[in-house]
A and B are shown apart, each in its own frame.
Chain A
Amino acid sequence: MIDFPILSSLILLPILGALFIFFSKSKSNSDTTSKYLALFVSFGNFILSLYLWYLFDPTTSDFQFLEERTWIKGFINYKVGIDGISILFVILTTFIAPLCVVSVNNNIKNSLKHFLIAILVMESLMIGVFCSLDLVVFYLFFEGGLIPMFLIIGIWGGERRVYSAFKFFLYTLLGSVLMLVAIISIYWMTGTTDVMYLYSIGIEAKYQNLLWLAFFSSFAVKTPMWPVHTWLPDAHVEAPTAGSVLLAAILLKMAGYGFIRFSVGLFPIASEYFVPLIYFLSLLAIIYTSFVALMQEDMKKLIAYSSVAHMGFVTLGIFTFTQQGIEGSIFQMISHGLVSAALFFSVGVIYERMHTRLINSYGGLVSIMPKYAIVLMVFTLGAVGLPGTSGFIGEFLILMGAFKKSFLVATIASFGVILAAAYMLWLYKRVIFGKIINQEIKILTDLNKSEVLILSILAFVIILFGFYPEPLLNTTKVSVKDFIEMYYNNINFTKN
């Protein structure tokens, strides 16, 4: 059991599947074989990740399933492993990927095969990001993800897809190159890029601020934090549904995860130092982008801005350095992964039928598409953070953590919850209720089988974790506790 390289298999399986699809001969029009193959691979990966969760020991904060291999001799080792912080992201990734594969059938007209390949490659890279325990390996996966995502937006996107794809690529690349400088500097300072080893030896206090900023530049773009969030709405609007889902549900989480694992983990003193900056940007993201979201006329843009606001909660929670705050952030990321994925799927459903994302071209869907109205209600409430949905637990924990640190910050952040309710419910009202103005709506059909499958699975999970968050919280609890302990030890150690 120990010998079986389960993490590497998780990383490699989708790529192998992609290769297989790439070389399989399929007739250009009927790509159902490719689709079933991709579904099979990604679902297999999901089962494997569940097995991983089953094997995972939540009572220890050590890294588990470690694998280490020489990669660049005398320089960098390929090292993967997971702990309570990262395992949930791996499972989220493997959970979302098959849903994306199921959904593509309807909206991708040309070269479905290549789209599936891109999704599978993307899945591999994202799992790699969450598993890697070496900075260079992490960077490799982190940046490698740009290639398939660029193609997904650019080839299969909407009208302004070229602009959005370029913006997405260049923004993220610009953020990341500084991180590369920081990583190499760390190597020359300490002689290693192994995260576990770096945790144990720590990094000299005088360098931490600069290094922290370099990492921050990368993660802030990816999170995205105000003021570098502008690529996100563009990318979301133009990306095809599955692309938006991957982007919102998983890509953004790489940055949140990076903040926990690297910014806080490696540079505790700098993190403490930059807390005001993070709080300021997070609050700005929560309040300002909520107002922006309120004014959007495009559904995808609205959800994109709400993502920025939700990720603002995440960064806020991480930098409270409290058990509730970080646990809440992780929970919030998972929950947002599910909810935003569900919302983008939902927008995809009506976009396919009407080919417009403008809110005012809808209205009165409730009488035409009752099933749709029900699931969208669940997701809207999830985004609002109503008790009983997973969104509530995350936000609640984050605010609890924030109140411990600063009353003012927490109070301002709480307004974000109200604003979220405003823009989400207003969106729901305008799309679902009201009179049918647009006559084309009358001929719409309700959800088909695969849509029902995707959306009901997501709705089920969102409600499940709303009422019963224990499995997630139990998994993260010990790791987060020890993580915070290590953090305070480091700070005290360097202060004395």
Chain B
Amino acid sequence: MTDLNFIYSELFLAISIMSLLIIGVFKKNSSNLIYNLSIISLLSCLALIFSFPINENAELFNNSYKIDYLSSFMKILTISSGIFVLISSNKYIQTININKIEYPILALSSILGMMVMISSNDLILFYVGLELQSLALYVLASFNRDNLSSSESGLKYFVLSALSSGLLLYGCSLIYGFSGSTNFFVISENLTQDDYVLTFGIVFIIVGLAFKISAVPFHMWAPDVYEGSPTSITIFFAILPKIAALTVFIRFLYVPFLNLIDQWQMIMVFLSIASMLFGAIAAIGQSNLKRLVAYSSIGHMGYALAGLATGTNQGIQSSISYISIYLFMNLAFFCCLFMLRRDEKYFENIQDLSGLSKNHPLLSFCFLIVLFSLAGIPPLAGFFAKFYIFSAVIDQSMYFLAIVGLLATVIAAFYYLRLIKIIYFDKEKEKYETNHNIGLKLSLLISSIFILFYFTYPSWLIEIVEKINII
């Protein structure tokens, strides 16, 4: 029973999901209560993780569930971004009338699925977590069911995701058939020689995971789903599943298959380069902000994968710091989007930003630093994210990847600059409302301050991720 100590946070989350469901069913008009309670349960979940020494290592349930520094850190990232997402989108879901009891509960289930994914050390358990988070997300994507595009995006995500899950399962079965086990440790022990069947298995799993983090060429779903889903779910899509999938990527590639690095390194490099370039070029023509974020996140995932492609601890660390900084930038960006509200209507077209700086100087300033940070211009946080990635990449003498990546940065800078141009240089439009709730303001404030002042003390993030040593 002592083993259960380590998964208190998961257990707690599971129990609170169930009890919230019961409360929701039996108590009428309890959607606000449930919403607040879910935030509280996430907070307590976070507290539970912190209450244990987070650098403790443990393998539970026949080595299929791994608790280590990586998993704890990624869980903290996931849960805290979940909290921020819920806090900042409160007003939004009330306005567009999707404030139902199921909404926060599904979000919590998806987070639970991600936590399982992050800790999984076994192909089956990993798949269980993946499906839990995906199923919840399918429903969430189509949550605004009266809206055609929302239903469409849910369906699209479901169909394509099911396909990719199929590929992933096929890959798992190939690996199982070859190594005789689904456990990562056992797989890595049984791998004495490399075999092309095994490579097939790895490729299929990489494809499945690449789908989840929307890396090119498995990105097709992202723009439509991002655009169609309610914005509060788009921000969910943009941040949380990526953290979980990246962790699985790390665990999967670096624990059982590190010896086969020659087999998968080229694939990762390709995924990375394709995502960086495609994300940068395709985003230029977009006119919907959510669609633009979809392409920009494709590009950003390319950078995170570049770190993973190196095959070193330092590469992993740089990827993790990239995703941490990326999280704050996206959070800030979406908080800014949530502020574009007028007469109970939210605006998400590029032209709606026109001349924002004249009427809303502070909001525009936040947009400004977020966009420059996403473009990777020093001294903002986004620059450091890219800097860590490229220093890991160049350390491995992968100059081609580094130079293509940096050129993609320049292309990407163009569309970020275009947004800044629209905000700052164009003619002003009507004012937006300014009475936002405190949660949204707080989220924006925290993330903007993080982005703006990260450069004053960049060591802290390094010190945290330095402890992640997988190899």
Is there a chain B Cβ closer than 8 Å to A423's Cβ? no
Chain A interface: which of B233-241, B268-276, B409-417?
Answer: B409-417
Tell me, rounded to whole Å, the shortest Cβ–Cβ distance linking A112 to chain B.
Answer: 13
B393-404 Cβ-contact flags toward A at 8 Å (1 or 0): 011000100110
Tell me, rounded to whole Å, the shortest Cβ–Cβ distance linking A140 to chain B.
Answer: 4
| B455 contacts A75, C-beta separation under 8 Å | no
| B406 contacts A180, C-beta separation under 8 Å | yes
Is there a chain B Cβ closer than 8 Å to A213's Cβ? no
| A161 contacts B395, C-beta separation under 8 Å | no
| A151 contacts B406, C-beta separation under 8 Å | no
Interface residues on B, range: 20 to 34
Tell me, rounded to whole Å, the shortest Cβ–Cβ distance linking B428 to chain A.
Answer: 11
Q: Beyond A143-B377, A166-B417, is A177–B462 a contact (Cβ under 8 Å)?
A: no
Is there a chain B Cβ closer than 8 Å to A196's Cβ? no
User: What's the Cα separation between A34 and B304 when bound, in Å?
Assistant: 43
A144-196: which residues lie under 8 A (CB-CB) from chain B? 144, 146-147, 150-151, 154-155, 161-162, 165-166, 169-170, 173-174, 177-178, 180-181, 184-185, 187-188
Is there a chain B Cβ closer than 8 Å to A496's Cβ? no
| B459 contacts A184, C-beta separation under 8 Å | no
B283-297: which residues lie under 8 A (CB-CB) from chain A? none
22 A-B contact pairs sorted by A residue (CB < 8 Å): A72-B458, A73-B463, A136-B387, A143-B377, A144-B377, A154-B425, A155-B357, A155-B425, A161-B425, A166-B414, A166-B417, A166-B421, A173-B377, A173-B409, A173-B410, A174-B410, A177-B409, A180-B406, A181-B390, A181-B394, A181-B399, A181-B406
User: What's the Cα separation between A147 and B416 when bound, in Å?
Assistant: 12
Chain A contacts of B458 at CB under 8 A?
A: 71-72
Tell me, rounded to whole Å, the shortest Cβ–Cβ distance linking B451 to chain A.
Answer: 13
A49-87 Cβ-contact flags toward B at 8 Å (1 or 0): 000000000000000000000111111000000000000
Is there a chain A Cβ closer than 8 Å to B143's Cβ? no
User: What's the Cα separation between A488 and B399 when bound, in Å?
Assistant: 31
Q: Beyond A71-B459, A143-B378, A181-B399, is A170–B421 a contact (Cβ under 8 Å)?
A: no
Is there a chain B Cβ closer than 8 Å to A40's Cβ? no
User: What's the Cα separation between A413 and B361 when bound, in Å?
Assistant: 50
Is there a chain B Cβ closer than 8 Å to A199's Cβ? no
In the complex, the chain B residue whose C-beta lies closest to that of A155 is B424
A323-364 Cβ-contact flags toward B at 8 Å (1 or 0): 000000000000000000000000000000000000000000
| A72 contacts B390, C-beta separation under 8 Å | no
| B377 contacts A147, C-beta separation under 8 Å | yes
Which one, A161, A173, A187, contacts B391 given CB within 8 A?
Answer: A187
Is there a chain A Cβ closer than 8 Å to B379's Cβ? yes
User: What's the Cα separation between A178 and B420 when bound, in Å?
Assistant: 24
5 closest pairs, A vs B, by CB?
A: A177-B406, A73-B459, A140-B378, A184-B394, A143-B378
Is there a chain B Cβ closer than 8 Å to A139's Cβ? yes
| B407 contacts A177, C-beta separation under 8 Å | yes
Chain A contacts of B424 at CB under 8 A?
A: 151, 154-155
Which one, B357, B395, B406, B425, contacts A178 given CB within 8 A?
Answer: B406
| B421 contacts A162, C-beta separation under 8 Å | yes
Is there a chain A Cβ closer than 8 Å to B372's Cβ? yes
Q: Beyond A170-B413, A177-B407, A178-B403, is A165–B459 a contact (Cβ under 8 Å)?
A: no
Chain A contacts of B387 at CB under 8 A?
A: 136, 180, 184
In the complex, the chain A residue whose C-beta lies closest to that of B365 is A22
Chain B contacts of A143 at CB under 8 A?
A: 377-378, 383
Which of B378, B410, B413, B459: most chain A CB closer than 10 A? B378
User: What's the Cα separation between A88 and B420 when bound, in Å?
Assistant: 35
In the complex, the chain B residue whose C-beta lies closest to that of A70 is B459
Q: Beyond A166-B417, A177-B410, A178-B406, is A72–B425 a contact (Cβ under 8 Å)?
A: no
Which one, A146, A154, A166, A185, contacts B377 given CB within 8 A?
Answer: A146
Chain A contacts of B394 at CB under 8 A?
A: 181, 184-185, 188
| A169 contacts B390, C-beta separation under 8 Å | no
| A180 contacts B390, C-beta separation under 8 Å | yes
Residues of B at the A interface (CB closer than 8 Å) are: 357, 361, 372, 377-379, 383, 387, 390-391, 394-395, 399, 402-403, 406-407, 409-410, 413-414, 417, 420-421, 424-425, 455, 458-459, 462-463
| B410 contacts A170, C-beta separation under 8 Å | yes
Total number of A residues with any Cβ neighbor in B under 8 Å: 34
In the complex, the chain A residue whose C-beta lies closest to that of B361 is A114
| B372 contacts A147, C-beta separation under 8 Å | yes
| A154 contacts B421, C-beta separation under 8 Å | yes
Chain A contacts of B378 at CB under 8 A?
A: 139-140, 143-144
Tell me, rounded to whole Å, the shortest Cβ–Cβ distance linking A268 to chain B.
Answer: 23
| A73 contacts B462, C-beta separation under 8 Å | yes
User: What's the Cα separation between A427 and B399 when bound, in Å?
Assistant: 49
Q: Classify the interface of chain B: helix, strand, loop or mixed.
A: helix
User: What's the Cα separation between A305 and B379 when bound, in Å?
Assistant: 31
In the complex, the chain A residue whose C-beta lies closest to that of B425 is A154
Chain B contacts of A72 at CB under 8 A?
A: 458-459, 462
In the complex, the chain A residue whose C-beta lies closest to that of B393 is A184
Chain B contacts of A187 at CB under 8 A?
A: 391
Chain A contacts of B410 at CB under 8 A?
A: 170, 173-174, 177
| A173 contacts B413, C-beta separation under 8 Å | yes
Tell me, rounded to whole Å, the shortest Cβ–Cβ distance linking A144 to chain B.
Answer: 5
Which of B361, B399, B406: most chain A CB closer than 10 A? B406
A184-212 Cβ-contact flags toward B at 8 Å (1 or 0): 11011000000000000000000000000
| A184 contacts B425, C-beta separation under 8 Å | no
Chain B contacts of A75 at CB under 8 A?
A: 462
Tell me, rounded to whole Å, the shortest Cβ–Cβ distance linking A36 to chain B.
Answer: 21
User: What's the Cα separation between A146 and B394 when bound, in Å?
Assistant: 25
User: Beyond the given A170-B413, A181-B406, could you list 11 further A-B residue pairs with CB under 8 A, ordered by the A residue number?
Assistant: A71-B458, A140-B383, A155-B357, A161-B425, A166-B414, A166-B417, A170-B417, A173-B377, A181-B394, A181-B402, A184-B391
A122-150: which residues lie under 8 A (CB-CB) from chain B? 136, 139-140, 143-144, 146-147, 150
Chain B contacts of A154 at CB under 8 A?
A: 420-421, 424-425
User: What's the Cα separation between A144 and B417 when bound, in Å?
Assistant: 14
User: What's the Cα separation between A177 and B406 when bound, in Å?
Assistant: 6
Tell me, rounded to whole Å, the shortest Cβ–Cβ distance linking B444 to chain A.
Answer: 17
Tell me, rounded to whole Å, the shortest Cβ–Cβ distance linking B354 to chain A.
Answer: 13
Which of A72, A136, A139, A155: most chain B CB closer than 10 A? A72
| A181 contacts B403, C-beta separation under 8 Å | yes
| A162 contacts B462, C-beta separation under 8 Å | no
Chain B contacts of A162 at CB under 8 A?
A: 421, 425
A370-393 Cβ-contact flags toward B at 8 Å (1 or 0): 000000000000000000000000
Which one, B395, B406, B417, B463, contacts A150 given CB within 8 A?
Answer: B417
Tell me, rounded to whole Å, the shortest Cβ–Cβ distance linking B359 to chain A.
Answer: 12
In the complex, the chain B residue whose C-beta lies closest to that of A142 is B378
Tell me, rounded to whole Å, the shortest Cβ–Cβ distance linking B88 to chain A.
Answer: 24
Tell me, rounded to whole Å, the shortest Cβ–Cβ distance linking B405 to chain A.
Answer: 9
User: What's the Cα separation between A70 and B457 when bound, in Å?
Assistant: 9
User: What's the Cα separation between A155 and B409 when bound, in Å?
Assistant: 24
Chain A contacts of B407 at CB under 8 A?
A: 174, 177
User: What's the Cα separation between A16 and B285 when bound, in Å?
Assistant: 39
Chain A contacts of B417 at CB under 8 A?
A: 150, 165-166, 169-170
User: What's the Cα separation between A142 and B417 when bound, in Å?
Assistant: 18
Chain A contacts of B421 at CB under 8 A?
A: 154, 162, 165-166
Tell me, rounded to whole Å, the shortest Cβ–Cβ distance linking A220 to chain B.
Answer: 16
Chain A contacts of B361 at CB under 8 A?
A: 114
User: What's the Cα separation between A143 and B375 when bound, in Å?
Assistant: 12
User: What's the Cα separation between A177 and B357 when bound, in Å?
Assistant: 29
User: What's the Cα separation between A155 and B364 when bound, in Å?
Assistant: 13
Chain B contacts of A71 at CB under 8 A?
A: 458-459
Chain A contacts of B413 at CB under 8 A?
A: 169-170, 173
Which of B390, B391, B462: most chain A CB closer than 10 A? B391
In the complex, the chain A residue whose C-beta lies closest to that of B386 is A180
Tell me, rounded to whole Å, the shortest Cβ–Cβ distance linking A18 to chain B.
Answer: 12
User: What's the Cα separation between A75 and B387 when bound, in Å?
Assistant: 12
User: What's the Cα separation between A424 and B403 when bound, in Å?
Assistant: 42
User: What's the Cα separation between A170 and B379 when bound, in Å?
Assistant: 17
In the complex, the chain B residue whose C-beta lies closest to that of A128 is B379
